[in-house]
Amino acid sequence: MTGRDDDMPQPSLQSKTILVVEDDWISAQALKAQLEDEGAIVPEPVASVGDAIAFLSGAPAIDAAVLDVNLGDEMVFPVATELSRHGIPFAFVTGQDRTPVAVRYSEVPIFEKPVQARALVQALQEQIRARRG
């Protein structure tokens, strides 16, 4: 090891802005920390469909999003629709049945909680690359 910073692998989501939509504060903060460890810029997570839609309408561009399927008593699908409309890649996380997601969004990665950070990061990287390509 030479001790040079450029010898160290760069975080995989370096300078990518990732929105986290998660209603459980602890899970949201864990996802935020995991993504930031990979170099991502993560705004404060939002916890409802309304807050997510408001964020998307007034925020600077994001590169991708991580969506919890169940936000209290509402499903996150309107947020997924809005992201799709703008060509923004996303992944779902859930602690419940994956079937409703798999039926509506078969092409979108779905991760069970607790989320394995490495797999989530890899899926987001691939989606961001595909969007650029």
What CATH code is carried by the domain that includes residue 95? 3.40.50.2300
**Is residue 22 one of the residues assigned to a domain?**
yes
Q: So what's the pLDDT on residue 10?
A: 57
Q: Give how many domains the chain has, as a whole number.
A: 1
**Is residue 30 one of the residues assigned to a domain?**
yes
Q: Give mean pLDDT, residues 14-30.
A: 96
Whether 1 has a pLDDT exceeding 50, the answer reads no
**Is residue 60 one of the residues assigned to a domain?**
yes
Check: CB of residue 11 under 8 Å from CB of residue 39: yes
User: Domain span at residue 127?
Assistant: 15-132
**Is residue 6 one of the residues assigned to a domain?**
no
**Is residue 39 one of the residues assigned to a domain?**
yes
**Is residue 1 one of the residues assigned to a domain?**
no
**Is residue 10 one of the residues assigned to a domain?**
no
Q: Give mean pLDDT, residues 87-103.
A: 88
Query: Residue 2 — very low, low, confident or very high, per pLDDT cuts 50/70/90?
Result: very low
Query: Residue 50 — very low, low, confident or very high, per pLDDT cuts 50/70/90?
Result: very high
Place of tokens 């509506």: 104
Q: Give mean pLDDT, residues 40-67.
A: 93
Q: Give mean pLDDT, residues 76-95.
A: 95
If one counts every other C-beta atom within 10 angstroms of the C-beta of residue 128, the result is 18
Q: 56: which 2 tokens?
A: 């998307």
If one counts every other C-beta atom within 10 angstroms of the C-beta of residue 129, the result is 10
Q: So what's the pLDDT on residue 7?
A: 54
**Is residue 2 one of the residues assigned to a domain?**
no
Task: State pTM to two decimals.
Answer: 0.89
Output the average pLDDT for the chain: 89
Whether 13 has a pLDDT exceeding 80, the answer reads yes
